[in-house]
Amino acid sequence: MSDSDDDITLVPKRQKLVHHGTLEEHMKRHGRNTDSLIQTGIDAGNINVSDGNTMEITGGEPSDSTKAMLAEFERRKRARHIAVPTDDAEVKVKLRSMKEPICFFGEGPADRRERLRDLLSRQGEIQARQEEQQKKQESIKKEQENITWYHEGTLALKEARIVIAKYSLPRAHTRLKQERDNVLITLTQKQAKLQELTKTMQSFTNEASQIGDSRPISYCEFSPNSECLVTASWSGLCKLWSIPSCELVRTLKGHQCQASCITFHPQSGVTQSSQSINLASCDQTGSVKLWNLEADEPIADIEGHSPHRVSRLSFHPSGRFLGTACFDKSWRLWDLEAQEEIVHQEGHSKEVYSLSFQADGALACSGGLDGFGRVWDLRTGRCIMFMEGHLKSVLSVDFSPSGYHVASGSEDNTAKVWDIRQRKCLYTIPAHTNLVSRVKFQPTQGDYLMTASYDNTCKIWSHPTGAPVRTLAAHEGKIMSADISFNLKYIATASFDRTFKLWAPENML
């Protein structure tokens, strides 16, 4: 050994790694069985073995007992937040008002307060369940009201649908061809046309004013040749006026009460004979009368609506059928050639007030006092669109010449334009400060929309932008109806002030 121990370093002996093998090899070397060792551990309680029973944990619906327990926990949680009086006398008064015992044997003020709290929580739970049940019933009732029912039709109805299909399909083909041609028009040309139209509409002014009756005038409409205007009055009289002189041509006498509407045959004054059916009118007793252009008395009556009011009627574009909107929650289609009712269509939960036909003759639109509108396919009888959006009654509907736009005017003071292709509302016009009594598209192109209102004004809106163009204000009373002539030269408005007014561009005066 060296004199200096600091230079000596002790190096430990390298440990050897020994592989002892698996548990089974170890047991074999020592002559012991694995199963016996496991059994020994189980017997000693050091190893737990499942008996095969498992508890399923799933994300499905909890059991009824679990739901009841959770509901009870929730009720107790709500009960802790219920404020109850601290005065014992007030607690007793509250219990008496709930028809509960004011005191139990051995019950103190604190126990009484807790019992009141528990009763209030249970009462609130029962009330919540009742409200939930009521909402569910109202939802079911609303769904049932929106269900459209279809019934088996007659052979006459089948023949009428074939006639309508043969009439509408060629016209739809022509209309679609025109729409494709319009796509080729440049944007500059469209803007120039719109500017010219806006300039013309802004120049409309009151050309003539005529006292039409001794009572309010409920409806007015131009003839297809734009040479006459017909009015219906609350006196029951319907009158025919020349345009633009506004001179009385004929007084139609037949209604015994307020006349609601009068409309021209689509070919009246064009191809229709003056001795044939040229006009149809209705009143509040459900009477519908047909007129020619030569007699002051009706040539025929349509029976079947009484005692329900008929609010509006409209000729089908073919002229063979007449549609009526009735207050028995239905609208009807009459075959004038067969002289019978072929469609009695239900679908609204309240009275049907307005009715309009598409220019092709394939579709009809009805508006009801339930605030909804429905578009019907006359060739199949099915409701193809449900117009939901107005807050109050729909009082007027009208198809655009394009065939796929529908305007609706409502008691909620607004007008809406709907797209049948997309089955939705395109835009809403907050048009007036009172209900909208009439909506009417420009008859030829549909470039603008006219709305009449009980706020004594009639307004013109560009379509499809919905921009305001012109306001026609001259009446002293609410405007009941309005119409645009087919030659686009005149606008007529009928009012509660017993007058009708004729409007025309200034350059025509």
> What confidence tens digit (pLDDT) does each residue in 32-62 have?
566 677 777 777 767 666 655 555 555 556 7
Averaged pLDDT for residues 377-381 = 92
CA-closest candidate to residue 454, choices 440, 471, 470, 475: 475
Q: Please tell me the least confidently modeled range out of 82-91, 267-276, 343-352, 461-470.
A: 82-91
Q: The tokens of 264 are what?
A: 């021209």
First to last CA, the chain: 141
Per-residue pLDDT, 268: 93
Averaged pLDDT for residues 426-436 = 94
Averaged pLDDT for residues 341-364 = 93
* % of the chain with per-residue pLDDT over 70: 86
Distances 136 to 139, 201, 391, 413 between C-alpha atoms, Å = 5, 51, 22, 31
Please answer whether residues 398 and 415 qualify as being in contact, where contact means their C-beta atoms are separated by less than 8 angstroms.
Answer: no
Per-residue pLDDT, 93: 86
Average pLDDT along the chain: 85
CA distance 392 to 369: 7
Q: Please tell me the least confidently modeled range out of 74-78, 172-176, 182-186.
A: 74-78
Please answer whether residues 408 and 355 qualify as being in contact, where contact means their C-beta atoms are separated by less than 8 angstroms.
Answer: no
CA-closest candidate to residue 230, choices 178, 265, 256: 265
CA distance 50 to 34: 19
- Over 50: is that where the pLDDT of 433 sits? yes
Please answer whether residues 311 and 299 qualify as being in contact, where contact means their C-beta atoms are separated by less than 8 angstroms.
Answer: no
- Please return the burial class of 72, using the count of CB atoms within 10 Å of its CB with bins 0-12, 13-18 and 19+: exposed
Q: Which of 47-61, 67-81, 150-164, 242-256 has the highest mean pLDDT?
A: 242-256
Please answer whether residues 321 and 333 qualify as being in contact, where contact means their C-beta atoms are separated by less than 8 angstroms.
Answer: yes
Distances 467 to 127, 156, 324, 402 between C-alpha atoms, Å = 50, 46, 33, 19
Per-residue pLDDT, 187: 79
pTM: 0.71
Per-residue pLDDT, 8: 46
Hey, is 322 helix, strand or coil? strand
Residues whose CB is less than 8 angstroms from the CB of residue 71 and which lie 6 or more positions away in sequence, other chains included:
none
CA distance 372 to 447: 25
- Over 60: is that where the pLDDT of 106 sits? yes
Averaged pLDDT for residues 370-390 = 94
pLDDT confidence bin for 265, thresholds 50/70/90: very high
pLDDT confidence bin for 410, thresholds 50/70/90: very high
Q: The tokens of 412 are what?
A: 């909620």
Please answer whether residues 234 and 496 qualify as being in contact, where contact means their C-beta atoms are separated by less than 8 angstroms.
Answer: no
Per-residue pLDDT, 30: 55
* % of the chain with per-residue pLDDT over 90: 56
- Over 70: is that where the pLDDT of 145 sits? no
Averaged pLDDT for residues 211-216 = 94
CA distance 291 to 270: 16
Q: The tokens of 75 are what?
A: 């009720």
Superfamily grouping for domain 156-508: YVTN repeat-like/Quinoprotein amine dehydrogenase (2.130.10.10)
- The pLDDT tens digits of the residues spanning 266-306 come to 999 899 999 999 999 999 999 999 999 999 999 999 988 88
In this structure, the strands spanning 352-357 and 340-346 are unpaired
User: Which residue, chain included where needed, has tokens 């073995």?
Assistant: 49
CA distance 239 to 236: 10
